[in-house]
Protein backbone atom coordinates (compact mmCIF):
# COMPACT_ATOMS: atom_id res chain seq x y z
CA UNK A 1 0.00 0.00 0.00
CA UNK A 2 1.36 3.41 -1.00
CA UNK A 3 1.88 5.96 1.75
CA UNK A 4 -0.29 8.80 0.38
CA UNK A 5 1.19 11.47 2.69
CA UNK A 6 4.73 10.61 1.63
CA UNK A 7 3.66 10.48 -2.02
CA UNK A 8 2.10 13.96 -1.87
CA UNK A 9 5.19 15.34 -0.14
CA UNK A 10 7.46 13.79 -2.76
CA UNK A 11 5.32 15.14 -5.59
CA UNK A 12 5.37 18.63 -4.10
CA UNK A 13 9.17 18.41 -3.72
CA UNK A 14 9.53 17.25 -7.33
CA UNK A 15 7.29 20.10 -8.51
CA UNK A 16 9.47 22.61 -6.68
CA UNK A 17 12.64 21.14 -8.21
CA UNK A 18 11.04 21.37 -11.65
CA UNK A 19 10.09 24.98 -10.95
CA UNK A 20 13.67 25.77 -9.95
CA UNK A 21 15.05 24.07 -13.06
CA UNK A 22 12.59 25.88 -15.34
CA UNK A 23 13.26 29.39 -14.03
CA UNK A 24 15.19 31.07 -16.87
CA UNK A 25 16.68 33.84 -14.72
CA UNK A 26 17.80 31.43 -12.00
CA UNK A 27 19.31 29.16 -14.63
CA UNK A 28 21.53 31.97 -15.97
CA UNK A 29 22.43 33.09 -12.43
CA UNK A 30 23.36 29.48 -11.59
CA UNK A 31 25.73 29.30 -14.58
CA UNK A 32 27.40 32.57 -13.60
CA UNK A 33 27.82 31.43 -9.99
CA UNK A 34 29.40 28.15 -11.05
CA UNK A 35 31.66 29.90 -13.57
CA UNK A 36 32.82 32.73 -11.31
CA UNK A 37 32.54 31.31 -7.78
CA UNK A 38 32.10 27.55 -8.01
CA UNK A 39 28.86 27.86 -6.03
CA UNK A 40 25.24 26.82 -6.57
CA UNK A 41 22.24 29.14 -6.22
CA UNK A 42 19.86 26.22 -6.78
CA UNK A 43 21.45 24.23 -3.96
CA UNK A 44 20.99 27.23 -1.70
CA UNK A 45 17.25 27.42 -2.44
CA UNK A 46 16.85 23.68 -1.84
CA UNK A 47 18.94 23.55 1.34
CA UNK A 48 18.91 26.77 3.36
CA UNK A 49 15.60 28.69 3.43
CA UNK A 50 12.29 27.15 4.50
CA UNK A 51 10.21 25.93 1.58
CA UNK A 52 7.83 28.91 1.78
CA UNK A 53 10.78 31.35 1.81
CA UNK A 54 12.41 29.59 -1.13
CA UNK A 55 9.11 29.66 -3.05
CA UNK A 56 8.77 33.41 -2.45
CA UNK A 57 12.36 33.99 -3.60
CA UNK A 58 11.80 31.91 -6.71
CA UNK A 59 8.54 33.73 -7.47
CA UNK A 60 10.41 37.06 -7.29
CA UNK A 61 12.90 35.79 -9.88
CA UNK A 62 10.20 34.24 -12.08
CA UNK A 63 8.22 37.48 -12.21
CA UNK A 64 11.25 39.59 -13.20
CA UNK A 65 11.11 41.00 -16.76
CA UNK A 66 12.89 39.07 -19.50
CA UNK A 67 15.23 42.02 -19.98
CA UNK A 68 16.81 41.25 -16.57
CA UNK A 69 17.53 37.70 -17.75
CA UNK A 70 19.09 39.23 -20.87
CA UNK A 71 21.35 41.42 -18.70
CA UNK A 72 22.63 38.36 -16.85
CA UNK A 73 23.04 36.43 -20.11
CA UNK A 74 25.25 39.22 -21.49
CA UNK A 75 27.34 39.00 -18.34
CA UNK A 76 27.62 35.21 -18.73
CA UNK A 77 28.61 35.57 -22.39
CA UNK A 78 30.97 38.49 -21.62
CA UNK A 79 29.14 40.53 -24.26
CA UNK A 80 28.98 44.10 -23.03
CA UNK A 81 29.46 46.65 -25.79
CA UNK A 82 32.30 49.11 -25.23
CA UNK A 83 32.27 50.37 -28.82
CA UNK A 84 32.38 54.11 -29.35
CA UNK A 85 29.00 55.58 -30.14
CA UNK A 86 27.07 52.65 -28.63
CA UNK A 87 25.20 53.03 -25.36
CA UNK A 88 26.59 50.73 -22.64
CA UNK A 89 24.28 48.30 -20.88
CA UNK A 90 23.82 47.58 -17.19
CA UNK A 91 25.76 44.60 -15.82
CA UNK A 92 23.89 43.33 -12.72
CA UNK A 93 25.17 41.79 -9.50
CA UNK A 94 23.62 38.49 -8.43
CA UNK A 95 20.96 38.73 -5.71
CA UNK A 96 20.65 35.04 -4.78
CA UNK A 97 23.10 33.59 -2.22
CA UNK A 98 24.69 30.21 -2.83
CA UNK A 99 26.36 27.60 -0.64
CA UNK A 100 29.63 25.71 -0.90
CA UNK A 101 30.23 22.50 1.07
CA UNK A 102 28.47 23.62 4.26
CA UNK A 103 25.21 25.50 4.94
CA UNK A 104 27.11 28.12 6.92
CA UNK A 105 28.97 29.30 3.83
CA UNK A 106 27.01 31.49 1.49
CA UNK A 107 27.53 34.79 -0.27
CA UNK A 108 25.30 37.53 -1.59
CA UNK A 109 27.37 39.13 -4.28
CA UNK A 110 26.11 42.67 -3.64
CA UNK A 111 27.23 42.55 -0.01
CA UNK A 112 30.86 42.75 -1.15
CA UNK A 113 30.46 45.86 -3.28
CA UNK A 114 29.71 48.37 -0.51
CA UNK A 115 26.69 50.58 -0.03
CA UNK A 116 23.13 49.81 0.94
CA UNK A 117 21.31 47.26 -1.17
CA UNK A 118 18.18 45.15 -0.96
CA UNK A 119 18.39 42.11 1.31
CA UNK A 120 17.14 39.63 -1.26
CA UNK A 121 16.94 36.50 0.97
CA UNK A 122 15.09 38.36 3.75
CA UNK A 123 12.68 40.56 1.79
CA UNK A 124 12.04 38.20 -1.13
CA UNK A 125 11.73 35.30 1.32
CA UNK A 126 8.67 36.91 2.91
CA UNK A 127 7.21 37.98 -0.43
CA UNK A 128 7.97 41.67 0.00
CA UNK A 129 10.38 42.35 -2.84
CA UNK A 130 9.72 43.05 -6.51
CA UNK A 131 12.50 42.78 -9.11
CA UNK A 132 11.70 45.01 -12.08
CA UNK A 133 13.27 47.43 -14.56
CA UNK A 134 12.85 51.08 -15.46
CA UNK A 135 14.65 53.87 -17.26
CA UNK A 136 17.33 55.60 -15.12
CA UNK A 137 15.43 58.89 -15.43
CA UNK A 138 12.27 57.20 -14.17
CA UNK A 139 14.09 55.94 -11.08
CA UNK A 140 15.46 59.45 -10.41
CA UNK A 141 11.98 60.86 -10.84
CA UNK A 142 10.71 58.65 -7.99
CA UNK A 143 13.74 59.32 -5.77
CA UNK A 144 13.17 62.82 -4.36
CA UNK A 145 11.58 63.80 -7.69
CA UNK A 146 15.03 63.72 -9.27
CA UNK A 147 16.89 66.03 -6.87
CA UNK A 148 20.62 65.36 -7.06
CA UNK A 149 22.50 64.71 -3.84
CA UNK A 150 24.53 67.93 -3.63
CA UNK A 151 21.23 69.82 -3.30
CA UNK A 152 20.41 67.87 -0.14
CA UNK A 153 22.91 68.82 2.57
CA UNK A 154 21.17 66.63 5.15
CA UNK A 155 22.57 63.59 3.34
CA UNK A 156 26.08 64.53 4.49
CA UNK A 157 27.44 63.58 1.06
CA UNK A 158 29.42 66.28 -0.70
CA UNK A 159 31.23 64.25 -3.35
CA UNK A 160 28.36 63.62 -5.76
CA UNK A 161 30.28 64.61 -8.89
CA UNK A 162 33.21 62.32 -8.06
CA UNK A 163 30.92 59.43 -7.13
CA UNK A 164 28.90 59.72 -10.33
CA UNK A 165 32.16 59.88 -12.32
CA UNK A 166 33.32 56.70 -10.55
CA UNK A 167 30.03 54.95 -11.35
CA UNK A 168 30.25 56.08 -14.99
CA UNK A 169 33.65 54.40 -15.30
CA UNK A 170 32.39 51.16 -13.73
CA UNK A 171 29.31 51.02 -15.96
CA UNK A 172 31.34 51.85 -19.08
CA UNK A 173 33.76 49.01 -18.22
CA UNK A 174 30.82 46.60 -17.72
CA UNK A 175 31.59 46.12 -14.02
CA UNK A 176 28.63 44.57 -12.14
CA UNK A 177 26.44 47.11 -10.32
CA UNK A 178 24.03 46.63 -7.42
CA UNK A 179 20.44 47.29 -8.52
CA UNK A 180 19.05 50.65 -7.28
CA UNK A 181 16.44 50.31 -4.55
CA UNK A 182 13.05 51.88 -3.81
CA UNK A 183 10.60 51.38 -0.93
CA UNK A 184 6.92 51.64 -1.82
CA UNK A 185 4.27 52.55 0.78
CA UNK A 186 1.23 50.68 -0.53
CA UNK A 187 -1.24 52.62 1.66
CA UNK A 188 -0.20 55.89 -0.01
CA UNK A 189 1.03 54.27 -3.25
CA UNK A 190 4.10 56.43 -2.84
CA UNK A 191 7.85 55.86 -2.59
CA UNK A 192 9.27 56.72 0.82
CA UNK A 193 12.90 55.57 0.58
CA UNK A 194 15.54 55.04 -2.08
CA UNK A 195 19.14 54.11 -2.75
CA UNK A 196 21.13 54.33 -5.97
CA UNK A 197 20.93 57.91 -7.24
CA UNK A 198 24.65 57.96 -8.10
CA UNK A 199 24.34 54.76 -10.14
CA UNK A 200 21.13 55.87 -11.86
CA UNK A 201 22.54 59.33 -12.64
CA UNK A 202 25.69 57.79 -14.15
CA UNK A 203 23.61 55.34 -16.19
CA UNK A 204 21.36 58.16 -17.42
CA UNK A 205 24.37 60.27 -18.47
CA UNK A 206 25.84 57.31 -20.37
CA UNK A 207 22.60 56.64 -22.21
CA UNK A 208 21.83 53.28 -20.55
CA UNK A 209 18.29 52.47 -21.65
CA UNK A 210 17.17 50.22 -18.79
CA UNK A 211 18.32 49.37 -15.26
CA UNK A 212 17.17 46.69 -12.80
CA UNK A 213 15.43 48.01 -9.66
CA UNK A 214 14.42 46.31 -6.41
CA UNK A 215 11.17 47.57 -4.88
CA UNK A 216 10.48 46.70 -1.24
CA UNK A 217 6.86 46.78 -0.08
CA UNK A 218 4.52 45.39 2.56
CA UNK A 219 2.15 42.53 1.78
CA UNK A 220 -1.03 44.01 0.22
CA UNK A 221 -3.98 43.83 2.62
CA UNK A 222 -6.74 44.89 0.23
CA UNK A 223 -7.49 45.24 -3.48
CA UNK A 224 -6.47 48.90 -3.53
CA UNK A 225 -2.97 48.06 -2.29
CA UNK A 226 -2.74 45.10 -4.66
CA UNK A 227 -3.68 47.41 -7.55
CA UNK A 228 -0.98 49.87 -6.46
CA UNK A 229 1.63 47.11 -6.57
CA UNK A 230 0.76 45.92 -10.07
CA UNK A 231 -0.09 49.28 -11.71
CA UNK A 232 3.01 51.47 -11.87
CA UNK A 233 1.02 54.38 -13.34
CA UNK A 234 -0.33 54.87 -9.79
CA UNK A 235 3.12 55.25 -8.21
CA UNK A 236 3.75 58.71 -6.75
CA UNK A 237 7.07 60.47 -6.29
CA UNK A 238 8.85 60.48 -2.98
CA UNK A 239 8.56 63.85 -1.25
CA UNK A 240 9.56 63.39 2.40
CA UNK A 241 13.24 63.60 3.45
CA UNK A 242 14.94 60.25 3.58
CA UNK A 243 16.92 59.12 6.66
CA UNK A 244 20.57 60.19 6.74
CA UNK A 245 21.93 57.94 3.99
CA UNK A 246 25.51 58.62 5.05
CA UNK A 247 24.79 56.36 8.01
CA UNK A 248 24.27 53.47 5.59
CA UNK A 249 27.47 54.25 3.69
CA UNK A 250 25.71 54.88 0.39
CA UNK A 251 28.03 54.81 -2.63
Cβ contact 183:216 at 8 Å: yes
Largest CA distance in the chain: 73
What's the CA gap between 96 and 86, in Å, rounded? 30
Q: What is the pLDDT of residues 10-31, one digit of tens each?
A: 676 789 999 999 999 999 999 9
pLDDT over 50 (residue 247): no
pLDDT category at 84 given cuts 50, 70, 90 is low
Helix extents (H) in 149-218: 160-172, 197-206
Burial of 79 (0-12, 13-18, 19+ CB in 10 A): exposed
The pLDDT > 70 percentage for the chain reads 77
Helix (H, G, I), strand (E, B) or coil at 240: coil
Q: What is the pLDDT of residue 154?
A: 45
Q: What is the pLDDT of residue 151?
A: 47
Cβ contact 40:30 at 8 Å: yes
pLDDT over 90 (residue 70): yes
Amino acid sequence: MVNMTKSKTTTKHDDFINQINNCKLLDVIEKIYKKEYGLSAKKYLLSIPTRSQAEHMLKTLESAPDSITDMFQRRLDCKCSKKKGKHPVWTPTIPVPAIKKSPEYFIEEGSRTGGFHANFPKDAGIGRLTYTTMKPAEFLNYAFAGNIIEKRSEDNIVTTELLVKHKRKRIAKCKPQDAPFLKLDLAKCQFVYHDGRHRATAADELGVQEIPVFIEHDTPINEEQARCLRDRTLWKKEFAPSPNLHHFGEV
